[in-house]
Amino acid sequence: MATNRRQFIRDITIGTTALAGSIPAQGQPKTLTATTENMCGYAAPRMDKVRIGFIGLGMRGPGAVERMSHLAGVEIKALCDKLPERAEKANRILEKAGLPNAATYSGEEGWKALCERNDLDLIYICTPWHLHTPMAVYAMRSGKHAATEVPAAQTLEECWQLVETSEKTRRHCMMLENCCYDFFELLTLNMARNGLFGELLHAEGAYIHDLSHDYLFNKGGYNDMWRLKANINKQGNLYPTHGLGPIAQCLNIGRGDRMDYLVSMTTADLTLAPLADEMAAKDEFFKAYKGKSYRGNMNNTTIRTVKGRTMMLQHDVSSPRPYSRIHLLSGTKGMVSKWPAPQRIALGHAWMKEEQVKELEAKYTPPIIRHIGEIAKNIGGHGGMDFIMDWRLIDCLRNGLPLDQDVYDAAAWSCIVPLSDTSAKARSKAVDIPDFTRGAWKTNTPHSLTLEGGGNTAVRT
């Protein structure tokens, strides 16, 4: 199978598949075999305490450490960053919470030593994108569950590595898609599950967030300018999962339907290359980024599912626009839209009045929000959704429950990165999306929105 995948990727590189009507999905087994563990719905043995090691303590990692410090049943045992001062600084978070200091690791290979410890259950990964898969795979092979920031993978080969390793080791691999735990997204998921929108026909999601000045061209932002470099010679959707994750759950992708193929198109770049020239004129440091071919401003990727529903994703991090993830669902009985604000619901041809929306919220707010939502708002993390995500992950592990997001979600949502790039560079040719479940999507059941069997993980105040 690995040989088939390598040949497929090699064919795309040299353009041999561009002559076909569409670019086919890479080869994979037709079905799960008797010796393969279906990780959708898989519940690992319960554990009273979850012992965690964190890798990556730059942008996202410290916040994750702080949030986890509030959870009972959690022991933060190890901290790792390439820069030793960051790992030591994270220990101050534990001290402030009245918790013991964790062992620290640093350097290019320190994360491997952390994964090899015999007193860890979960590796929490907050590193640059290209390290997510190697670290998650190493963690699972070392006997640990893996939770990785988004996207989980950068290539189709990496997507399959995650799937195969999770199945073989029977270790969870969760992509930390926090937007699936935002308050309105969970509300609309529960409404969709209860049939308020009828049969869903179409959904939209996005990541529209101008990062150009504050992050991409900020020497104090992403370490070694890795996120700016990721935009060089790319034309696809580099960051699809914030918009895709919540709508994929509403459409039961991987659990009753699956993404079949996509087409992708990207505008010209009218801001990043000029900004690189401008910055280079002011600062010698940025001359290395002058004259590069940057990803265009807006990418539009359209996906069709096997059951004939459509999804539209947008990605723009370099245009001066207000932040938006869109989050739109459209069905045979109504629709919902989060952006532009205010959040809107229509069960017919007109938007509902504010008091009507509040009535629906009172009725359909899911149990997890009623249980932990107000505490999450106080602790924080993008308004509380980060804490809900972390709390839910720990509660599932402690109670031996299946995770809301499995390795097939991580692979399917992440594969949009390389496939959209392939399509956009091939004049928007249709590209098939692999079935990472190998047919199991037909019988997999949607994850539960209840707290049955869990909900007992306490929060330290």
Q: Clarify whether residues 264 and 192 are in a common domain.
A: yes
Residue pLDDT tens, the chain, 461 long = 555 555 555 455 434 444 456 898 765 555 666 567 899 999 999 999 999 999 999 999 999 999 999 999 999 999 999 999 999 999 999 999 999 999 999 999 999 999 999 999 999 999 999 999 999 999 999 999 999 999 999 999 999 999 999 999 999 999 999 999 999 999 999 999 999 999 999 999 999 999 999 999 999 999 999 999 999 999 999 999 999 999 999 999 999 999 999 999 999 999 999 999 999 999 999 999 999 999 999 999 999 999 999 999 999 999 999 999 999 999 999 999 999 999 999 999 999 999 999 999 999 999 999 999 999 999 999 999 999 999 999 999 999 999 999 999 999 999 999 999 999 999 999 999 999 999 999 999 998 888 999 999 999 97
Question: Are residues 438 and 332 part of one domain?
Answer: yes
Q: Does one domain contain both 124 and 220?
A: no
Asked if residue 322 is part of any domain, the answer here is yes
Domain that holds residue 151: 43-176
CA dist 154 → 130, 150, 395, 421 (Å): 6, 10, 29, 11
Do 240 and 256 share a structural domain?
yes
Whole-prediction pTM value? 0.94
Q: Judge whether 229 lies within some domain.
A: yes
Are residues 95 and 187 both part of a single domain?
no
In a domain, 150, yes or no: yes
If 0-12 CB within 10 Å is exposed, 13-18 middle and 19+ buried, where does residue 172 land?
buried
Contacts of 93 (CB under 8 A, 6+ apart): 62, 65, 66, 69
Dmax (CA) for the chain in angstroms is 63
Check residue 18 and give its pLDDT. Answer: 43
CATH of the domain at 213: 3.30.360.10
User: Of 158, 176, 194, which residue constitutes the final position of a domain?
Assistant: 176
Instruction: Show Cβ contacts of residue 349 under 8 Å, excluding neighbours closer than 6 positions.
Output: none
Residue 101 included in any domain = yes
pLDDT value at residue 15:
46
Q: What is the pLDDT of residue 274?
A: 98
Q: Would residue 9 count as lying in a domain? A: no
Q: What is the pLDDT of residue 13?
A: 45
Do residue 296 and residue 347 come from a single domain? yes
CATH number of 167's domain: 3.40.50.720
Contact criterion met (CB below 8 Å) for 433 and 419: yes
Residue 180 near residue 249, CB atoms below 8 Å: yes
The pLDDT value recorded for residue 10 is 46
In this structure, are 93 and 189 located in the same domain?
Answer: no
Task: Give the pLDDT confidence score for residue 400 in this predicted structure.
Answer: 97
Query: Please, are residues 317 and 239 in contact by the beta-carbon 8 Å criterion?
Result: yes
From 150, 319, 167, 153, select the one nearest 243 (Cα to Cα): 150
Which among 24, 18, 33 is positioned nearest to 439, based on CA atoms? 33
Q: Do 251 and 152 belong to one domain?
A: no
Domain termination site, one of 150, 176, 202: 176
Exposed, middle or buried: residue 214 (CB in 10 Å: 0-12, 13-18, 19+)? exposed
Q: For the chain, what is the domain count? A: 2
Same domain assignment for residues 408 and 297: yes
Could you tell me if residue 383 is inside a domain? no
Q: Are residues 187 and 166 in the same domain?
A: no
* Domain contains 301: yes
State which of 176, 201, 218 marks the end of a domain. Answer: 176
Distance CA 427, CA 416 (A): 16
Same domain membership, residue 297 and residue 412: yes
Count Cβ atoms within 10 A of the Cβ of residue 455 and give its class: 0-12 exposed, 13-18 middle, 19 or more buried.
Answer: middle
Query: What is the rounded (10 degree) CA torsion for 32, 35, 39, 45?
Result: 160
On whether both 238 and 193 belong to a single domain, the answer is yes
Residue tagged 């290539």 (tokens)? 155
Per-residue model confidence (pLDDT) at position 331: 98
Q: Which residues contact 34 (CB under 8 A, 6 or more apart)?
A: none
Give the model's pLDDT for residue 19: 43
